[in-house]
């Protein structure tokens, strides 16, 4: 297990990635009562086929993460993928869901709790990932310079992102009311009196807050935490910010990752339209 964790870490993956992969590998081990490297390729294929049939989600994420976990296990043992005849995982070419500005406004307006409004405000206003918003500490906020320091984001990189004046006013009000001690979105330790905030808001808690706000705002799109990050990038692009600056704000390693937003954004220089718009403009008033 140490070699497995070391391999995951050396290759730049996070602790949560290790936990995820090790959980899937452990499930396979329990299924057969053996460690995966003691199995033959035929048994692995049978198990993967079982997962495919069992999965109810189109992405078959459980199947994919099992394969990824086995890949890292083989790497840690110095064995090739062919040792267990692991399949290739084709990347799905799906365009991200993006909210309109009006939908984002509804999302913020319908939040019942100030904490959730600030949470969603940071996710959209700063383009943060779920892990990044959970990791924000009070010391990372620079209200004078109107900046937020994102510490050790994906790829173990720090970056600075601008803070909106509107968000700063809300954050000051939130901090005054909730009095967090360390993490901006903290949770009091269980069983401890006095409301001392000393642990991070959970991933599930962030996801729940976004889902509830989306439901209250009556948004029909499939909204996730990452939808707000996609909307942040798309809206900035539509408002005239260059793609390289957006890449840096998002913390992307490669510009190719950021280029996907060029397929979504409705840019004034190349804005697409329906022929019905022309038809109605020419003949609709007759």
Residue positions annotated with a catalytic role: 129, 154, 226, 229, 252, 261
Backbone phi and psi for residue 199, each to the nearest 5 degrees, phi listed first? -140, 155
Name the helix (H) or strand (E) containing 140: none
Instruction: Give rounded-to-5 percent helix, strand, coil for the chain.
Output: 55, 10, 35
Rounded to an integer, what distance in angstroms lies between the CA atom of residue 55 and that of residue 67? Answer: 14
Name the helix (H) or strand (E) containing 56: none
Could you tell me which of 140, 130, 182 has the C-alpha nearest to residue 161?
140
> Parallel, antiparallel, or unpaired: how do β-strands 197-200 and 186-188 relate?
antiparallel
DSSP 59-72: T-HHHHHHHHHHHH
Could you tell me which of 40, 35, 62, 59 has the C-alpha nearest to residue 51?
62
142 near 149, Cβ under 8 Å? yes
């Amino acid at each position: 297990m140490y070699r497995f964790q070391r391999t995951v870490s050396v290759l730049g993956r996070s602790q949560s990635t290790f936990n995820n992969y090790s959980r899937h590998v452990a499930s396979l081990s329990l299924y057969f009562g053996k460690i995966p490297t003691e199995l033959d390729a035929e048994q692995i294929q049978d198990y993967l086929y079982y997962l495919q049939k069992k999965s109810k989600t189109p992405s078959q994420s459980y199947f994919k993460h099992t394969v990824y976990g086995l890949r890292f296990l083989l790497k840690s043992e110095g064995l090739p993928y062919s040792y267990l005849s692991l399949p290739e995982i084709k990347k799905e070419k799906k365009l991200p869901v993006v909210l309109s500005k009006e939908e984002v406004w509804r999302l913020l307006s319908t939040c019942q709790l100030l904490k959730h409004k600030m949470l969603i405000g940071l996710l959209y206003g700063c383009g943060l990932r779920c892990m990044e918003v959970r990791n924000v500490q009070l010391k990372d906020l620079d209200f004078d310079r109107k900046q937020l320091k994102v510490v050790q984001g994906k790829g173990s990189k720090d970056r600075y992102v601008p803070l909106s004046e509107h968000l700063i006013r809300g954050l000051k009000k939130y901090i005054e009311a909730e009095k967090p001690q360390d993490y901006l979105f903290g949770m009091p330790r269980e069983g401890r009196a006095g409301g001392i905030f000393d642990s991070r808001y959970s991933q599930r808690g962030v996801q729940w807050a976004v889902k509830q706000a989306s439901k209250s705002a009556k948004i029909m799109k499939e909204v996730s935490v990452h939808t707000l990050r996609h909307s942040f990038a798309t809206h900035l692009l539509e408002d005239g910010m260059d793609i390289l600056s957006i890449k840096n704000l998002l913390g992307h390693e490669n510009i190719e990752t950021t280029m996907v937003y060029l397929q979504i954004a409705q840019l004034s220089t190349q804005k697409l339209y329906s022929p019905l718009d022309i038809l109605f403009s020419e003949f609709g008033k007759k």
